Amino acid sequence: MRLVELSHVIENGTVTYPGLPAPRIGEHLSFADSRSHYAPGTEFAIGRIEMIANTGTYLDTPAHRYRDGHDLAALPLERCADLPAVVVDAAGAVTAEDLAGRQLTGAAVLVRTGWDVHWGTGRYGEADHPHLTADAAEALVAAGATLVGIDSVNIDATSTGERPVHSALLRAGIPVVEHLTGLDQLPVTGARFTAVPPLISGMATFPVRAFAVVPVREPRGPGSIEGDGGV
């Protein structure tokens, strides 16, 4: 098996979504300042980070959209860990037609657009970014998807204030993972996807360490015979 990193690195000053504040990362306790608390030669550092919840690669729970929706503390692991991944390739708006014929029940549906190449640039947040349409969201709900992710700035179009994709998915209890990266390393099917946030009561959204486990086919030795009927 091969592990594939699917999260962006969170750095001091990194802008995730245009208009939202960047994280500030620093020290709470330095090695030098800790020495007075410990024996000679023993020292520790404690970091400090100040950030909004929508930073880096993050997961949205229903409480992000709905007042009565569940938060991170109530998110079942079955909704975000060790899920069969189905990768959907798209360059613009993903419609229900693009999802037709796929086995999406119980899957983490990951929309691979390649938009992550613009991460950290002004282009990343521009309004023509790839996204899902309202009918695609309804199709995902009807198909019984477990989680939906995308490697773009938003799973919805941002040219208006409407957010039908967030609304439909989160209403159905389907978590959304935005700002993924590295989806080009995944097969269309066969990988297992995980994106688990911490258990925080009263918080609707938080960064995750998203990754996939990809099976690696063992090379056949000399003299082996390909095919199901080999003897």
Global pTM value = 0.92
Number of structural domains the chain divides into: 1
DSSP tag of 219: P
- Is 6 a member of any domain? yes
Distance CA 100, CA 73 (A): 34
- Is 110 a member of any domain? yes
Looking at the DSSP bridge assignments, the partners of residue 148 are 109, 176
Which three-class secondary structure state does DSSP give residue 24? strand
CATH number at residue 109: 3.50.30.50
**How would you classify the pairing of strands 131-132 and 176-178?**
unpaired
- Is 18 a member of any domain? no
- Is 34 a member of any domain? no
Model confidence at 217, pLDDT cuts 50, 70, 90, reads confident
Model confidence at 230, pLDDT cuts 50, 70, 90, reads very low
**How would you classify the pairing of strands 209-214 and 205-207?**
unpaired
- Is 32 a member of any domain? no
pLDDT of residue 220: 62
Helix (H) or strand (E) holding 134: helix 134-143
Amino acid identity, residue 25? Answer: I
- Is residue 39's pLDDT more than 80? yes
Q: In this structure, is the dihedral angle defined by the CA atoms of residues 27, 122, 168 and 95, taken in order, positive or negative? A: negative
Amino acid identity, residue 53? Answer: A
Looking at the DSSP bridge assignments, the partners of residue 27 are 47
Count helices and strands (H / E) in the chain: 4, 13
pLDDT in tens, 67-78: 999 999 999 999
CB 205 within 8 A of CB 178: no
**Average pLDDT in the 117-122 region?**
97
- Is 21 a member of any domain? no
Tokens of 133: 């349409």
- Is residue 207's pLDDT more than 60? yes
Note down the domain range covering 77. Answer: 2-10+52-214
pLDDT of residue 219: 64
* pLDDT, averaged across the chain: 94
Half-sphere exposure of 7 (CA within 13 A, CB side): 21
pLDDT of residue 76: 98
Model confidence at 221, pLDDT cuts 50, 70, 90, reads low
pLDDT of residue 29: 97
Model confidence at 125, pLDDT cuts 50, 70, 90, reads very high
Between 222 and 135, whose confidence is greater? 135
